[in-house]
Structure 1
Amino acid sequence: MSHTHDPRAKLPDAPYSDNERLKDESDYLHGSIAADLGDGITGAFRGDNFQLIRFHGMYEQDNRDLRAERTEQKLEPLKSMMLRCRLPGGIITPQQWLGIDEFAGENTLYGSIRITNRQTFQYHGVLKPNIKAMHQWLHKLGLDSIATASDVNRNVLCTTNPVESALHREAHEWAKKISMHLLPRTTAYADIWLDGEKVFTTEPTKPLNKEIADGVEPILGKNYLPRKFKTAVVIPPDNEVDIHSNDLGFVAIEENGHLVGFNVLVGGGLSSEHGNTTTYPNTSYEFGYVPLSHTLHCAEAVVSTQRDWGDRSDRKHARTRYTLERVGVDVFKAEVEKRMGIKFEPIRPYHFTTRGDRIGWVKGEEGNWHLTLYIENGRLIDTDDKPLKTGMREIAKIHKGNFRLTANQNLIVAGVAPKDKAKIEKLARKYGLISDKVTKQRENSMACVSLPTCPLAMAEAERFIPGLIDQVDAIMAKHGMADEHIVLRVTGCPNGCGRAMLAEIGLVGKAIGRYNLFAGGNRIGTRIPRLYKENITEPEILAILDEWIGAWARERKTDEGFGDYAIRTGIVKPVLDPPRDFWAA
């Protein structure tokens, strides 16, 4: 990539987006949220507050299934909040889980807890009168939702190692340190939700780089970042966090079982816009290796460079990958090196072999056991045949280890003593948390929430995928592939929440009942799939999959995943350079 002008110069003569105005005028994210809470006329937030609450970890939603009925009754849409907790690395105690469960059961419209692929949980359907109580409840549990949405660094992911190791413990600690270091410094969260009570037992670390601006927000700045920013820590050979989907990735490098530093990857992201060829998903670029002592320097330098150089006029081009495309990878990397005070060392060798969760029991290095539970779409709720939420509550009452939420929407009951293993398994089976009927294909499929609550949804995803997988399982069995799987993901729109743009087969919602079909990603999550056919229905999709899977069964090489087969046989051409290649025919 080349660049012909100063990257710090103002971007094209376009006015800044209105989001920049509202951030600038927000008094460091306070806005008038506190006053708005007392407005009982509407269940919504007014004006700028609709956007500002996102910095506090919430999105305003309504149940789109009920819109027409409520409109007919001359009622406002049923407004409620979705809250996403901040949980770096996804580790939580059973005691915290019991508190989370209690609030969900008594104070949300749907009664569910949803594990997300950002390795945390979400509440859906919290009404306005319960919002402040929700934040105070989380605070008592030692949790918060600071910076889990909007133009900040969001929840930091980390590989969940069910075997338990010193390396995993060290990597998880660094995920927490990175999260803390990049948090907003404003007191808005505490002022609005906690009546000024201090949020952290220890203050976020101070900025390290001389180039960082002074003031209330020394790392993020008064106007925060141009767009959302995602960070993950991965421990090879497992790539369950889909490291290439993140703006900033830290690849753990170990020597003799202990962490010594990280390879740094920058510029990943999966969202695009239907038909807008200036938008594209992208896998991240390798910048180089840094020792542990410069991890926070590096994270801060990447974030601050994106803060200063990112596009604040067009939010569709405001993510880090577009900044890299505009200024050049080498130019951006040189600026990061300048700000962190050292040069990147050459990338240390690493490779990925897996990214799915190991469902079932795994014996740990220290003699304890770890049980990974498959949670379809991450949704924990009680139904007549599967009281999953109750089951997790009963396990939490007796479990002496911890729980780990995975980036594949599953949950690990970690650190089970041998004497407690049978008791935990009995509970898990009693409440439907373990089922021998879950296929490999179902374990390796994923969907975003989409309808009815997501305002961006164009098509079904979470409610669509269980029935779809039933039919894909039948096709797999028909062709003698029942013990195999394809990494298959469905998103209700092209914004990327279900990570379909790193799947072997991805379905992206276009309209109710219609999807764009992508193919050619790989099993380890390092290649973007290509659009095969646009705006097709479920029967059309299944007919295509039947043909593909039949051919794959007949012609595959030993252990060849479907995505690699699709590239080798020319079903689609590989996406080699996403910025220029993603939209190519």
Structure 2
Amino acid sequence: MADNKNLIVEGKLADNERMKAQSKHLRGTITTDLADDVTGGFTADNFQLIRFHGMYQQDDRDIRAERAKQKLEPLHNVMLRARLPGGVITPEQWLVIDKFAEEKTMYGSIRLTTRQTFQFHGVLKPNVKPMHQLLNSTGIDSIATAGDVNRNVLCTSNPVESELHKQAWNWAAKISEHLLPKTNAYAEIWLDGEKVESTQEQEPILGDNYLPRKFKTTVVIPPHNDVDVHANDLNFVAIAENDKLVGFNVLVGGGLAMTHGDMTTFPRKADNFGFVSLDKTLDVAAAVVSTQRDWGNRTNRKNAKTKYTLERVGVDTFKKEVEKRASMTFAESRPFKLTSRGDRFGWVKGIDGKHHLTLFIENGRILDFANKSLKKGCAEIAKVHQGDFRLTANQNLIVAGVPEDQKALIEAIATQHGLLEANTSKQRQDSMACVSLPTCPLAMAEAERYLPSAVDQLESILSKHGLAHESIIYRITGCPNGCGRAMLAEIGLVGKGPNKYNLHIGGNREGTRIPKMYKENIVDTEIMQIIDELIGRWSKERLQNEAFGDFVIRAGIVAPVVNSAEDFYA
């Protein structure tokens, strides 16, 4: 057991702690910045504070240098990430966001994200407040989808076991609401809500300084691991009896972000604390969050996430504190198995008799392209669809709850607009990338724009070695922050610089093993040469049905990552 001095990290607080403390419960001077038409951006602390309201300030890096030559500031705009627990959205809501994207954003697109929600990119300052008000009118907000808070809560999309999914999704929504900031700042700033003195407000779960770092939560329905539980701080694994949800196994301390060159940072799998009944679910969620609130590292943001707190104080110590705060004791973990991650594409029929159509959206980018009108097609479906849409954590879209007599119409619209293509390979469906350039300020290398051609090359290599029917979990991120979840891939590329990546291999298809770095700081051509050689060996030496990630471990090409704190860099 850790002694008391290890529970809280002493030292000079990170500047973000000053910013949060002085923010008047996340208000700052955002309203003043909104009225300033001299700059298109948000200044000083507000640049960070708007994140707690679901926005990141960005600019188009493709034109940054040219604007500098013209003595112009960068083309500041914001990216908004909506709060959409479990990724469920109505057709009516879809049509509203479709229209806003078309008329009021620089890029005209809707971006489906790995956080099971949508993002607007390229919203200029005059459109920011109207955007929030428009979303609010449809029942959507962006509260706490970024910043040092619990973010959008994910839930397995499961379109088959409809009743179980509904129960799990309801808990995702409850957890999201329970862990939201209680400040009235969002309503005051964006919705012209009644002003409240910040000194009269309290944050009983998040605290007045909120969390030390971002916090991510999921609800997963085994055996489908489509939310990647080991990428998240807190995970509720649904346990059902006779198709009825009875409780959750609670997994704590996962996370994928790291910092290049800093070996005190690393991706980490979550630990299984045990089983909790439904009536204690919200208490446990609050206890995990508040323990991390009090014990997390506030002096070094690179080591501030829950995974590092567990490594520092010990899993047992953290678990016992959660039990104390939640006034409960974890029962022994119930048996469960995670066997798959990808979405089920095409039509499936649920046990309720309704049909569900999963559409593959490469990179999650819904836009009208020269050869396929994805955005228009989704809008046309929304105009006639009687069920709901479900955004998946793999950047795809499910048209859910389709009655038998509407199935042919939905399929015809999807086919007409290129949303339903018979020739999309399994490899393309199993590949994913973060947004990266040109909008993300953290991006070091291409990801979204590189992925399509990278998959073309990977498909060619697989075909060359007689494995065209196979696929590999393949992911690319433009930096080491983990948005594309490359640190749970069989092959993961992590951006290091312009056209330079670290190559990681050895994750598994189930998402329960972190890949090992195989080569550092290499260009795309060398990456493909290495992948060609490795797949060549896989085709000749594999055991029956052995996945690529399992093969490179068994063959000794890389060692498995068992304990990230000890062997990720070994």
TM-score (norm 2): 0.98
Equivalent residue for 1:372, pick from 334, 358, 362: 358
Is 2:189 the partner of 1:192?
yes
d(CA) in 1 for partners of 2:326 and 2:552? 42
Amino acid of the structure 2 residue aligned with 1:298: V
Equivalent residue for 1:449, pick from 416, 435, 444: 435
Name 2:138's counterpart in structure 1. 141
Is 2:487 the partner of 1:489?
no
Name 1:89's counterpart in structure 2. 86
Name 1:530's counterpart in structure 2. 516
d(CA) in 2 for partners of 1:162 and 1:254? 16
Equivalent residue for 1:42, pick from 39, 42, 62: 39
Is 2:55 the partner of 1:58?
yes
Is 2:16 the partner of 1:19?
yes
d(CA) in 1 for partners of 2:567 and 2:443? 26
Amino acid of the structure 1 residue aligned with 2:543: K
Is 2:396 the partner of 1:410?
yes
Percent identity of paired positions between Structure 1 and Structure 2: 64
Taking only aligned residues, the RMSD between alpha carbons, in angstroms, comes to 1.1
3-state SS, counterpart of residue 180 of structure 2: coil
d(CA) in 2 for partners of 1:511 and 1:246? 26
d(CA) in 2 for partners of 1:284 and 1:164? 26
Name 1:269's counterpart in structure 2. 255
Name 2:340's counterpart in structure 1. 354
Name 2:68's counterpart in structure 1. 71
Equivalent residue for 1:382, pick from 368, 388, 402: 368
Does structure 1 retain, via aligned residues, the 8 Å contact 2:183–2:201?
no
Is 2:429 the partner of 1:430?
no
Residues 236-288 of structure 1: per-residue CA shift (max 9 Å, x gap): 00000001110000000010000000000000000001111000000000111
Q: 24-33 or 159-168: which moved more?
A: 159-168
Is 2:502 the partner of 1:516?
yes
Residues 523-566 of structure 1: per-residue CA shift (max 9 Å, x gap): 00000000000011111111111111111112211221110011
CA-CA distance at 1:18 after TM superposition: 0.7
Name 1:204's counterpart in structure 2. none
d(CA) in 2 for partners of 1:538 and 1:180? 43
3-state SS, counterpart of residue 80 of structure 2: strand
Does structure 1 retain, via aligned residues, the 8 Å contact 2:155–2:172?
yes
CA-CA distance at 1:437 after TM superposition: 2.1
Amino acid of the structure 1 residue aligned with 2:176: S
d(CA) in 1 for partners of 2:233 and 2:383? 38
Is 2:298 the partner of 1:319?
no
Gaps of 5+ in 2: none
d(CA) in 2 for partners of 1:474 and 1:324? 43
3-state SS, counterpart of residue 432 of structure 2: strand
3-state SS, counterpart of residue 382 of structure 2: helix
Name 2:149's counterpart in structure 1. 152
d(CA) in 2 for partners of 1:256 and 1:277? 46
Equivalent residue for 1:561, pick from 533, 547, 557: 547
d(CA) in 1 for partners of 2:338 and 2:9? 38
d(CA) in 1 for partners of 2:544 and 2:394? 26
Residues 382-435 of structure 1: per-residue CA shift (max 9 Å, x gap): 112111000000000001010000000000000111111111111101111011
Is 2:244 the partner of 1:258?
yes
d(CA) in 1 for partners of 2:194 and 2:217? 28
CA-CA distance at 1:184 after TM superposition: 0.2
Name 1:172's counterpart in structure 2. 169
CA-CA distance at 1:581 after TM superposition: 1.0
Amino acid of the structure 1 residue aligned with 2:27: H
CA-CA distance at 1:7 after TM superposition: 4.1
Amino acid of the structure 2 residue aligned with 1:248: L
Name 1:117's counterpart in structure 2. 114
- Equivalence map 1:463-482=2 (5 Å): 463-482=449-468
Amino acid of the structure 1 residue aligned with 2:393: A
Name 1:208's counterpart in structure 2. none
Name 1:207's counterpart in structure 2. none
Is 2:93 the partner of 1:107?
no
d(CA) in 2 for partners of 1:338 and 1:523? 36
Equivalent residue for 2:285, pick from 284, 293, 299: 299
Amino acid of the structure 1 residue aligned with 2:181: P
d(CA) in 1 for partners of 2:318 and 2:161? 37
Does structure 1 retain, via aligned residues, the 8 Å contact 2:224–2:338?
yes
d(CA) in 2 for partners of 1:175 and 1:4? 35
Name 1:129's counterpart in structure 2. 126
Gaps of 5+ in 1: 199-213
CA-CA distance at 1:3 after TM superposition: 2.3
Residues 83-133 of structure 1: per-residue CA shift (max 9 Å, x gap): 000000000000000001010000000000000010000000000000000
CA-CA distance at 1:4 after TM superposition: 3.5
Amino acid of the structure 1 residue aligned with 2:311: E
Q: 291-300 or 377-386: which moved more?
A: 377-386
d(CA) in 1 for partners of 2:6 and 2:178? 26
d(CA) in 2 for partners of 1:151 and 1:61? 19
Residues 459-500 of structure 1: per-residue CA shift (max 9 Å, x gap): 000000100000100111111111110000000000000000
d(CA) in 2 for partners of 1:243 and 1:300? 18
3-state SS, counterpart of residue 62 of structure 2: helix
d(CA) in 2 for partners of 1:464 and 1:544? 18
d(CA) in 2 for partners of 1:370 and 1:554? 39
Amino acid of the structure 2 residue aligned with 1:21: R
Name 1:203's counterpart in structure 2. none
Is 2:568 the partner of 1:582?
yes
d(CA) in 1 for partners of 2:385 and 2:541? 47
Amino acid of the structure 2 residue aligned with 1:32: T
- Equivalence map 1:242-257=2 (5 Å): 242-257=228-243
Equivalent residue for 1:30, pick from 10, 19, 27: 27
Is 2:498 the partner of 1:501?
no
d(CA) in 2 for partners of 1:17 and 1:243? 29
3-state SS, counterpart of residue 249 of structure 2: strand
3-state SS, counterpart of residue 321 of structure 2: helix
Query: Which structure 1 residue ranges, 4+ long, deviate > 3 Å from structure 2?
Result: 4-8
Q: 532-541 or 181-190: which moved more?
A: 532-541
d(CA) in 2 for partners of 1:193 and 1:270? 32
Q: 293-302 or 548-557: which moved more?
A: 548-557
CA-CA distance at 1:215 after TM superposition: 5.3
d(CA) in 2 for partners of 1:418 and 1:197? 47
Residues 62-86 of structure 1: per-residue CA shift (max 9 Å, x gap): 0000011100111000000000000
Amino acid of the structure 1 residue aligned with 2:9: L
